[in-house]
Amino acid sequence: MELSNTRIKLVRAAMLLFWENGYNSTSIADVLKKAKVNSGSLYHFFPAKTDLLAAVLDLYHDGIRQMLLEPPSAGLADPIQKIFAVLGRYRCSLVETDCFYCSPIGSLALELRDPDERVRVRLAKNFRAWIDVIDDCLQQSKRRFPAEVNRRELAQFVLTVMEGGVMQARTFRDIAYFDGAVRQLRHYFVRLGRGGSRGLMRRTRMPARTLKKKIK
Amino acid sequence: MELSNTRIKLVRAAMLLFWENGYNSTSIADVLKKAKVNSGSLYHFFPAKTDLLAAVLDLYHDGIRQMLLEPPSAGLADPIQKIFAVLGRYRCSLVETDCFYCSPIGSLALELRDPDERVRVRLAKNFRAWIDVIDDCLQQSKRRFPAEVNRRELAQFVLTVMEGGVMQARTFRDIAYFDGAVRQLRHYFVRLGRGGSRGLMRRTRMPARTLKKKIK
């Protein structure tokens, strides 16, 4: 029990530090200090820094559904609205941090130039789980898209837009860049849906309060 | 002349190393070794590592039109085709590196958690110059879009898709993820254009050889 707690403390501390400062800028000493754990315990669980990173990525993966879907889409029945609610959550993270926010998996995916294959596989697994969440929503609303729409590819595209939009908002320190990306995606969804602009998105308008906040 | 050459050697060496290994993983000693320059000269030009990074970003910016537009779109008259040719260039970089490629500005934008303001401004300036190139193409083809299309935002969206697509292809080590993102963007362009699928993209098909390579 004691050992298990120590392991969790280390993984949580590393998760926070890798996200805040990046993987390469975080030293083992930083993790030990943050976790308040001695180095013997760390090396017992994680012989190398890469092992710690692999554990962090497993922790992200284990929480991805609960972190992504449940909080932002609570109370929403419409699956397309759920997708835009997931994106809305990233918007909140950007706004709350004055656009310093970066997505943890996306940042690691670019920071690590030649990651250990165990690490790369876990980065991909996290992306796949994210895409699965969007794919499920698209599957639930498949009657609202023409048959030729490649649902999996569209789900991947939602991730592409989220990551690219976060990157630009962060670089310009301006939420308008994220909002613009999401708006373009929304236009695309409207045009993809059966029945044009009166089709797919008719039932997916955000509540007036959220919409106002989005437009500012 | 000698001094100026030394400065250029340092900036070019740093440019390559930051791109290959990341900013935080590159030491001043690595730059000196690569540039074959002594530390006195480096500190003369660049008192801090951030100064060197600022110079690298200026060099990227100075070359962005020549690097981006001229080579991939040489011989192309159609401005929409030029946009997809720019994206095609990133595809080549991914294919040539077995999907290890990462965009230099995008990677720095995510790696540096709280960059010096001079650096952040230069990252944004590079993105702005990239977006300008796409915006020019859209301006030249504006009659093929309905008036309500927000051209600037669409140009930003092209950057979003490029960066997000590169990130996924890199993480999955699979070009299909980049191709999927570009294909979705192409579908969006088709649907945005006047006259539906027979409008905007009719004149923007890629040469058969390139298309075949894209589809594999």
Please give the full DSSP string across chain A, using - where no structure is assigned. Answer: -HHHHHHHHHHHHHHHHHHHH-STT--HHHHHHHHT--HHHHHHH-SSHHHHHHHHHHHHHHHHHHHHTHHHHTT---HHHHHHHHHHHHHHHHHHTTT----HHHHHHHH-SS--HHHHHHHHHHHHHHHHHHHHHHHHTGGGS-TT--HHHHHHHHHHHHHHHHHHHHHHT-HHHHHHHHHHHHHHHHHHSTTGGGTGGGGGPPPHHHHHHHH-
pTM of the model: 0.91
To the nearest whole percent, how much of chain A has pLDDT over 90?
A: 81
A164–B159 C-beta distance less than 8 A: yes
How far is the alpha carbon of B2 from chain A, nearest alpha carbon, in Å?
A: 34
Q: What's the confidence (pLDDT) of residue A200? A: 66
pLDDT exceeds cutoff 80 at A23: yes
* Tokens at B62, concatenated: 């100075």
Mutate to test the interface with B, among A127, A167, A188 (most CBs of B within 10 A): A167
Nearest by CB: A160 against B24, B164, B192: B164
The average confidence (pLDDT) of chain B is 90
**Nearest in space to A60 (alpha carbons), one of A94, A11, A100, A5:** A11
Q: Is the pLDDT of residue B210 over 80?
A: no
User: Which chain B residues are closer than 8 Å to A181 by Cβ?
Assistant: 156-157, 160
Question: From A153, which residue of chain B is nearest by alpha-carbon distance?
Answer: B180
* Residue in B25, B100, B114 nearest the CB of A24: B25
For B171, the closest of A109, A113, A184 (CB atoms) is: A109
Measured in angstroms, the CA of A197 and the nearest CA of chain B are apart by 12
pLDDT digits (tens, 9 = 90+) for A191-211: 998 755 445 665 444 444 444
Cβ of A173 within 8 Å of Cβ of B120? The answer is: yes
Query: Which of residues 190 through 209 in chain A touch B, CB cutoff 8 A?
Result: 191-192
- Asked if residues B115 and B54 have their Cβ atoms less than 8 Å apart, the reply is no
Interchain contact B181–A (C-beta under 8 A): yes
Handedness of CA A111, B178, A116, A57 (dihedral sign): positive
Distance from CA of B72 to the nearest CA of A (A): 22
- Put simply, whether A26 touches B (Cβ < 8 Å) is no
- Per-residue confidence (pLDDT) for residue A194, from 0 to 100: 74
The mean pLDDT of B170-176, rounded to a whole number, is 98
Answer positive or negative: Cα dihedral of B22, B25, B31, B33.
negative
Residues 88-127 of chain B whose Cβ lies under 8 A from any Cβ of chain A? 100, 102, 106-107, 109-114, 120, 123-124, 127
pLDDT at B205 over 70: no
Going by pLDDT thresholds of 50, 70 and 90, the confidence category of residue B201 is low
- Burial (CB count within 10 angstroms: exposed 0-12, middle 13-18, buried 19+), residue B105: buried
- Confidence grade of residue A71 (pLDDT, cut at 50, 70, 90): confident
| Structure confidence at residue B18 (pLDDT) | 97
What are the tens digits of pLDDT across the range B99-135? 999 999 999 999 999 999 999 999 999 999 999 999 9
Cα gap A166→A101, rounded to integer Å: 8
Q: Is A16 on the interface with B (CB under 8 A)?
A: no
**Under 8 Å between Cβ of A75 and A136:** no
